[in-house]
Structure 1
Amino acid sequence: MSEGQSLGFTPNEMMTIAASRALKNDDVCFVGIGAPSAACNVARLTHAPDITLIYESGTIGTAPEVLPLSIGDGELCDTAVTTVSVPEMFRYWLQGGRISIGFLGAAQLDKFGNINTTVIGDYLHPKTRLPGGGGAPEIATSSKQIYITMAQSKRGMVEKIDFFTSFGRGDGGDHRQRLGIDTAGPTLLITDLAIWKPDPASKEFTVMSLHPGVSREKVQATCGWTVKFAGRLDQTPAPTALELKTLRDLQARTKAAHEGTAKGKSV
């Protein structure tokens, strides 16, 4: 039994830590709120202390002590190296090709990495209105690579998304290039069950590694399309004690701060 398994961990903790491992010390990362933010900050607090984290509100080189509730959270500005205007953020940093990794979540995702965060059902008569794209459509096309994190479910991982919020690889193959988009697009999907990468030719997400204790059957049962598995499947290394402690401490600080019980804050 590995160190992480002996400590015990949840599928979401495994997902966050696996995602954090994909980031490098020299990455410039455009961070989405939620699971992407947690993964990026775990990386910063462990193996990638010099990673540059950028949030949509214009904060550059931010190092939050707690996870932000939104891109407008004061914690981001307070701990940033600098804060620039949103137009400068998008035009100079993002569209200028200075972002190595765009880290996004999804409400709906298809096998080619196309993302929906706009609406479930018909656009004019929806079942659910979602928060929308924000800067994600631009992040998806202008970042050099896109990493995606999400918990697996048939409701979320679907054969056909209801709305194209953020373009991944369209219908697969060279669809991105045919549209004149010269960035790589989605190169990594980390779920609570597995690590996926696009097939070199079709660009369909393929399972490369199963998290500890996860079977092929479980991955397929929580995915809305017929899953392709690599010929040789790896097993994702379990979280280490340091990774788990870093993530849990970050989440505990966040919970205390947002409940108003952090030291120095009134209840």
Structure 2
Amino acid sequence: MTFTRTETMVVAGARALEGRRVCFVGIGLPNIAVALAQRTVAPGIELIYESGVYGSRPNRLPLSIGDPCLVTGSLAVMPMAELFQYYLQGGLVDVGFLGAAQIDRRGDLNTTVIGDDYHHPKVRLPGSGGACDIAQNAREVIVLMRQSRRSFVDTVDFRTSPGSRVARVITDLGVYTVGERLELTALHPGVTLDEVRAATGWDLDLAPGVTETPPPTAEELRILREELDPERIYLR
């Protein structure tokens, strides 16, 4: 059975939600991971999207945070202000699930600009949206992102979201836990430690006894490839 590193990353992200009840989902890669979790390890998980939807069970992957499919089967739809104030700031969110363009060794996230000059950046990104609020108010945060020296940097170009509640980072190369710094705890199948070091913009910290991520199962791959992303928009 063959699988890609992106598929391994998404599966690892979905498995991290086992036993969780309320998850505030950021746009991007977290969408496909939570969709897989709903169909496998966390069928009762209640998804929140910043557009004002609680308890979403979308029947397909959303194209944006305003996609009407997010309302499908939801428990409640409300103004964004109420969602953030009553649920997120009220301490009712177990886990925030975010992506990012950059992360540093402390877990700080950047989704705002690439480059030193905010007013004239190399790349201007979508910005915070609800990410900063999620990062500060969810009980813990999981980050899902692809890893390279451009994304794993010593210091983020712009600190969009603080890393104080980031507990786990899952990339296409491995899995990290976060205390004072990111610490590699697992390598994905077929990934070498040298590859991870080459894709990290600081001296890598290793957990005692780095393990290997369990590979995706045939059923997880079937759901990803046939039900969730047959056109491989997320899984490219």
Band of TM-score, shorter chain? over 0.9
SS at match of 1:213: coil
| Residue equivalent to 2:46 | 52
Instruction: Give 1:105 deviation, angstroms.
Output: 0.3
2:14 alignment partner, SS class: helix
Task: Tell me the amino acid that sits aligned with residue 50 of structure 2.
Answer: E
Q: 1:101 to 1:212 in 2, by over 3 A?
A: same
Q: Say whether 1:30 aligns with 2:24.
A: yes
8 Å contact 1:25–1:49 — kept in the other structure?
no
- The TM-score, its normalising length taken from structure 1, stands at 0.84
| 1:107-256 → structure 2 map (5 Å cutoff) | 107-121=101-115, 122-169=117-164, 185-199=165-179, 203-248=180-225, 249-252=227-230
CA contact (8 A) 1:65 1:253 kept: no
CA contact (8 A) 2:175 2:187 kept: yes
The amino acid across from 1:245 in the alignment is R
- Preserved CA contact (<8 Å) 1:46 1:246: no
Does the residue aligned with 2:11 lie in a helix, a strand or coil?
A: helix
- d(CA) in 2 for partners of 1:225, 1:43: 32
* Mean CA deviation greater in 71-80 or 110-119: 71-80
- Three-state SS of the structure 2 residue aligned to 1:133 is coil
1:230 & 1:160 partners in 2: Cα distance?
A: 21
Task: Please tell me whether the aligned partners of residues 22 and 45 of structure 2 are also in contact (alpha carbons under 8 angstroms).
Answer: yes
SS at match of 1:234: strand
Structure 2 unpaired stretches of 5+: none
User: In angstroms, what is the RMSD of aligned CA positions?
Assistant: 1.3
Q: In the alignment, residue 53 of structure 1 is paired with which amino acid?
A: L
Structure with higher Rg: it is 1
C-alpha distance after superposition, 1:228-260 (max 9, x if no partner): 1112011100000111111112112886xxxxx
1:147-179 CA-to-partner distances (Å, cap 9, x unmatched) read 00111110111001111100113xxxxxxxxxx
Match of 2:10 among 13, 16, 21: 16
Equivalent residue letter for 2:194: E
Shift of 1:8: 0.7
Q: Which stretches of structure 1, 4 residues or more, deviate above 3 A after TM superposition? A: none
- Tell whether 2:70 aligns with 1:93: no
Q: Percent identity?
A: 47
Q: Which amino acid aligns with 1:126?
A: P
Q: Secondary structure at the match of 2:122?
A: strand
Deviation at 1:25, TM superposition (A): 4.0
For residues 178 and 53 of structure 2, the distance between their equivalents in structure 1, rounded to whole angstroms, comes to 31
Contact 2:53 2:71 in 1 (8 A): yes
Q: Distance in 2 between matches of 1:254 and 1:159?
A: 31
Give SS of 2:216's match. Answer: coil
Flag the 1:254–1:14 CA change in 2: closer, same or farther, 3 A.
Answer: closer
Normalization by structure 2: what TM-score? 0.95
